[in-house]
Amino acid sequence: MAIFPWLWAVITVIAAAAQTVRNAAQRQLTGELSTVGATHVRFLFGFPFALVFLTLIVTGLGRELPRPDLPFFFWASAGALAQIVATAMMLAAMDQRSFVVTIAYTKTEPVQAALFGVAFLGDRLTIPMLFAIVVATAGVMMMSLQQGQSGGARPTLLGLLAGGFFAISAVGFRGAIISLDGADRLLAASFTLCVVLAMQAASLSAYLMVRDRAVLVAILRAWRRSLLAGFMGAFASQLWFLAFALTTAANVRTLALVEIMYAQAASRYAFGQRTTRREVAGLVLIIIGVALLIAVQ
């Protein structure tokens, strides 16, 4: 961190790219596996990869695993549950609205993450930082609130709520990581990721066993195509968690708005959805906001 103070920014940009690939892979699975099934894929198939990451880190650093306390499990559980709800809402919104606009709705998250971080973790938030977050979020809203977009109020509400729950999950994950006092940041991030994915995979598997076993069977049958979503999800989460260990959730989630640019590319080339002038203007605001955030650090 002292040698490379912007390490969190580099990590976040790479994580956003990996997350875009994961979102696209999950979206393609939604029709076959249902929203809950596609949501579960990232957790069930992501956990083994996260376990591999943790094993490599423990072996490479020559350290013992952290010893979590009750606050750790509180924050980890809150983050895990919020992320499940947020992912399901995001995928449900994608079913009714364009890929890029849905992603834009969820990216109202930074303002909420900033407020939650200040309220619950005591994170520092200066006026210039808040201004940068608001500018970037304004760009998101400019992209989202377009005339001529079909889908109605339901996908809009789902997308906005998804952003709120993603903000809660980000604060929960950061809270869990920083509660591991004395642990190396990379190790703390990887350990937290494994615990969170284990919680999510176990809870959703139990839910599907009781409510819809056919979906669980379909997930297992689609394991080849689900591996991409699982790996990219675990890889992105590994980077997100490390970024949360290095700086505030608000900083990470604001810079993560670069995902909108990746989503634009995916929307155009993978799903054949055109980019409007209003979306371009919104992208410019997002870039300005992100640049301001980096400048005031």
The pLDDT tens digits of the residues spanning 61-107 come to: 888 899 999 999 999 999 999 988 888 887 777 766 666 666 666 76
Question: 101: which 2 tokens?
Answer: 């606009």
pLDDT digits (tens, 9 = 90+) for 30-53: 777 877 888 888 889 999 999 999
0.85 exceeded by pTM? no
154-158: list long-range contacts, CB under 8 Å, 24+ apart. Answer: 154/96, 155/92, 155/93, 155/96, 155/97, 155/102, 155/105, 156/93, 156/97, 156/105, 158/89, 158/90, 158/92, 158/93, 158/96, 158/105
Q: Which residues of 219-240 are buried (b: 16+ CB within 10 A; e: fewer)?
A: beebeeebbbbbbbbbbbbbbb
Question: Who's near 170: CB < 8 A, 6+ residues apart?
Answer: 79, 109, 113, 240, 244, 249, 252, 253
Q: What is the pLDDT of residue 189?
A: 93
pLDDT digits (tens, 9 = 90+) for 235-249: 999 999 999 988 888
**How big is the CA angle at 255 (ends 118 and 178), to the nearest 5 degrees?**
45
Tell me the HSE value of 195 on the side-chain side, using a 13 A CA sphere.
Answer: 25
Average pLDDT rounded to a whole number, residues 14-30:
83
Residue 287 has pLDDT above 80, yes or no: no
Which of 17-26, 164-173, 241-250 has the least mean pLDDT? 17-26
Q: What is the pLDDT of residue 152?
A: 58
Please report, for the chain, the start and end positions of each structural domain, with discontinuous segments joined by +: 7-124+151-257
% of the chain exceeding 90 in pLDDT: 28
Cα(226)–Cα(57) distance, integer angstroms: 25
